[in-house]
Amino acid sequence: MAERFLLNLNGTESGIEADPDTPLLYALRNDLELRGTRFGCGTGQCGACFVLIDGHPAPACDTPLWSVAGKRITTVEGLGPSGALHPLQNAFLAEQAAQCGYCTSGVLVSAAALLAKNPRPTESEVRAALDRNLCRCGSHNRMVRAVLRAAAEAQT
């Protein structure tokens, strides 16, 4: 049965009434109008729906609402400072690091988590951090370059 939840979402409190077992993905997309988090597989295997939960990337499709009560949730829309792009997003634009762009949100989320704990990753550390995100178009190398660019720009 539906319950009322207060979510700490992108730095603000958002209220939602839903069944506690509802996957966070559908609450975000359909109730909270944050549609940058995307459905890919529904079983946490592709990364298209990754969000940060207390700073860790997690599949929103496989995360029930009850489990995120009281935790910090960050979606792709909330990666940057309010209303602005995250440096990673600027780097993705500079590198034109996408083809279809459907996996992009989830990749950005994984990359943001990586840079938060390891601001100067090596290329292989970037690849390892993105291994849970699937890309079908073959834009991997561009995305890796964009992450390294964002890391380098943050140092200067």
Residue 35 contacts other proteins per CB under 8 A: yes
Query: How far is Cα 77 from Cα 141, in angstroms, rounded to an integer?
Result: 24
Residue 76 contacts other proteins per CB under 8 A: yes
Task: Kindly state the number of chain residues that form the binding site for other proteins, as judged by CB under 8 A.
Answer: 54
Work out how close the CB of 36 gets to other proteins at its nearest, in angstroms, rounded to a whole number.
Answer: 3
**Contacts of 101 by beta carbon, 8 Å cutoff, 6+ apart:** none
Please identify, using beta-carbon distances, which residue of 54 and 131 lies nearer to other proteins: 131
Residue 103 contacts other proteins per CB under 8 A: yes
Q: Which of 75, 87, 112, 121 binds other proteins (CB under 8 A)?
A: 75
Closest by Cα among 126, 71, 83, 80 to 105: 80
Residue 37 contacts other proteins per CB under 8 A: yes
Stretch that binds other proteins, among 66-74, 114-122, 136-144, 148-156 (CB under 8 A): 136-144
Please identify, using beta-carbon distances, which residue of 56 and 142 lies nearer to other proteins: 142
Chain positions contacting other proteins, by CB under 8 A: 19, 22-23, 26, 29-30, 35-43, 45-46, 48, 75-77, 85, 89, 92-93, 96-105, 108, 124, 126-128, 130-131, 133-144
